[in-house]
Structure formats: structure tokens, C-alpha cells
Structure 1
Amino acid sequence: MPSPSEVDGVRAISREDWRIASLTALAVSLHIVESALPPLLPGLKPGLANIVVIVTLCRYGYRDAVWVSLLRVLVSALLLGTLFSPTFWLSLAGALGSLLILWPARWLPGRGFGPLGFSLLAAMAHIGAQFLMAYLVFVQHAGVFWLLPPLLAASLIFGTFNGLIAHWILFQLASRPSGRP
């Protein structure tokens, strides 16, 4: 006899699966829109999809944030035609770097590690992991690191901006009456 969550042997989509799929779709949409915008500098984008990851982390937990982040990288690469290209590997390295720094950051004491602190840490780790990947795999020349200071400065700005937006979204979600969807 099939379980209540199965129909004709096919597992029904759980509420959690639906949430992760919806959040991933939002992150992918933001990533695709952002990819159509001209960069301020080569390789410099604000990382708007990361707002969704930070909101997911703060609202639903680390596990869901990992799913949304990694699925966003994969689905975006499939849709943009960059799967297994250098862009894909740099994006994946940045996502993994961000997720690795967010794992221990969840348990650090203090109020600085809300959405703004998480966003800043993730932005720094993202650019650091991308530079490490670029150096180890694509451009084995120390000159690549001349780009690191301006891009770290940009990631501070974008990390702050994205963290403030994530904070505002979380505030709006928390202040909704419980009867509203």
C-alpha cells in the first residue's frame, strides 16, 4: 500500500521540495537577469541571486540554503549554456566558498551575523574562492592577484547592499500577519 505522500508509486512533492524549487527559481531568475546586464568591470556583478540564499539561510536553515545555492549554479549554467565552461567552474567555486564560510558563521556569537554579516562573509568567501580557482586552474600567474583588491572592495559594497536587502525582506516576511500567504 502506498504511503499518503505517494500516488501510484510516485512520491508527491513535499512542502519543503516546493519551497526549495520556488526559491531556486527566484535565484535563477535574478541570476539570468543579472547576466544580461553589462558588467561594471569584467567579471564584476552584484550577485543579486545571493540575496535569495541569505534569506533562505536565515529563514529556513543551512540545508535549504545549500540546495538553493548549488541548484542555482547548475540550473543557471544549463539555461545560459555555460555548463562546464570556466564561468560555471568559477561560479561553483564561489558558491562553495560562500557555503563553506556560512557553515561555521551560523554559530558565531554576537548580533553581527544576521543577514548583513552573512552576506559580507559570503561575498568575501565567494571572491576568494573564485580567485583561488582562477589561479589554480585557469591562470597560473601571480599577476591575477592584482585584481583581488578592487574586486574585494566591490564585494564589500555588493555584500553590504545584498545583506541590507535580505534584512529588509526578512523584516517584511516577519511583519506579515500570519493569515496572509
Structure 2
Amino acid sequence: MTRSVIELPVTADDRRIARLAAVAIGITLAEAAIPSPVPGIKPGLANIVVLLVLLQYGWRTAAWVSAMRVLAGSLLLGSLFAPGFWLSAAGATVSLLVLGLARHLPARYFGPVSLSILAAFGHIGGQLALAGWWLLPGAALIGLIPVFAAAALIFGTVNGVVVARLRAAPDAGGPPAAGAAQ
């Protein structure tokens, strides 16, 4: 057996990111099995993990978890570099950018539910922007905007409520952030 010359130290943060990404990837795979009445509309349950990570460990860790979820989820689903991968990557990127900006908003007005709604709108906005630029003419997308916006509002709210309840649970690893509004 040849020993590798390159040895990368594995930190506790690396292990935490890997565990959290594995949970998000597992949820992504499970969610892929759920049939959708409208193509492209899913509850985004893995985003619950990303939002929990953001609130607990910060934006950088959330970005790693989200990126690994998109890459590994697409690889495991057999859609790496297919249009669905790029749409997912665009949605995740815009969602993370929105969350990065939103973390500068007053915490007492922007808690898990409002952050989840903003992230959901960012996600669908990123997907629609890429789809309009690459896959569908702009006029075809205009009729879909109300459907996708309603889905973002509903699923963003539900996912945000789940995050708020998980953070409020006594065994959630601590109390919610001080002054965080629901």
C-alpha cells in the first residue's frame, strides 16, 4: 500500500459540515421521491437544514452545506450538470445571497419564518431568472410567476415555522437567538 504524501487535517468544523450536509443530502434524496403536481415545485425541506445551520453556525457554514447538498444530491440523483442541477444551483446561490444580506436586518423583525420566506423567494427567483435566460422565453415564464410565488410563500412559511419550532425545542442545543422574531 502506498501512503499518500498529502495529508489534510480534518477539523471539528469539517466533521460538523459533513454531518449537516449528509442530513441535507438525505432529505434532498427523499424529497426527490415525492411526486409534484407542478414540475419544479417542491417543498424544499433540505432548506430547513440550511436555515438551521445559518442561524446556529453562520453564513459560511450554511454556504458549504448548501453547496454540498446541491452537488452531492445531483450526483446521487444522476442529474449532475443537467438543467435541473443548474436550476438548483442558481436557486441555492441566490437564496444564500439573500440570506447573506438579510442577516444585516434587525433580528427582532427577521426571525426564522421571515428569513425562510425571503430565502424561498430568492431560490425561486434564481431558478426563474436562469430558466428565463436559458430555457424558456420570458413571456412563457410570466404566467408561471404567480404559481411559483405562491409556492415560495407557502413552503417558505412552513419551513420557517419548522425551523422556529426546532430552535425553540429544549433539546435543540440552546435557546433561539436573542430578539429573534417569528
TM-score, normalised via structure 1 length: 0.89
Question: 1:154 maps to which residue?
Answer: 151
- Verify: 1:29 aligned to 2:40, yes or no: no
**Residue 50 in structure 1 maps to residue 47 in structure 2:** yes
- 2:123 is equivalent to residue 126 of structure 1: yes
8 A contact 1:58–1:114 mirrored in 2: no
Shift of 1:40: 2.9
Distance (whole Å) between structure 2 residues aligned to residue 22 and residue 169 of structure 1: 17
Which residue, 58, 69, 75 being the options, matches 1:72? 69
- How far apart are the structure 1 equivalents of 2:64 and 2:106? 25
1:154: Cα distance to partner? 1.0
* Paired AA for residue 156 in structure 2: G
Give a deviation string over 1:116-142, Cα, whole Å, max 9, x none: 111000000111110000010111241
Matched to 1:44, the amino acid is I
| 1:39 and 2:36 matched | yes
Higher helix share: 1
Contact 1:95 1:126 in 2 (8 A): yes
Tell me the SS of whatever aligns to 2:27: helix
- Relative distance call for 1:141 and 1:175 in structure 2 (3 A) is closer
**Aligned partner (choices 120, 137, 140) of residue 140 of structure 1:** 137
Q: Distance in 1 between matches of 2:64 and 2:138?
A: 34
> Does 2:163 correspond to 1:166?
yes
Residue of structure 1 equivalent to 2:102: 105
Alignment gaps of 5+ in structure 2: 176-182
- Percent pairwise identity: 47
Q: Report SS of the residue matched to 1:38.
A: coil
Q: Report the count of equivalent residues.
A: 169
Query: Is the CA contact 1:131–1:145 (under 8 Å) kept in the aligned structure 2?
Result: no
Q: 1:82 to 1:146 in 2, by over 3 A?
A: same
5+ residue gaps, structure 1, are: 1-7, 177-181
Q: For the aligned residues, what is the CA RMSD? A: 1.5
Measured against aligned partners, the alpha-carbon deviations of 1:149-169 in whole angstroms (never above 9, x if no partner) come to: 111011100000000111111
TM-score (norm 2): 0.88
2:83 to 86, 92, 99: 86
Question: 1:73 touches 1:88 (CA, 8 Å); kept in 2?
Answer: yes
Measure, in 1, the Cα distance between the counterparts of 2:141 and 2:149. 13
Q: Write out the 4+ residue segments of structure 1 that deviate beyond 4 Å after TM superposition.
A: none
Counterpart of 1:15 (choices 9, 12, 15) is: 12
* 1:88–1:9 Cα change, 3 Å: closer
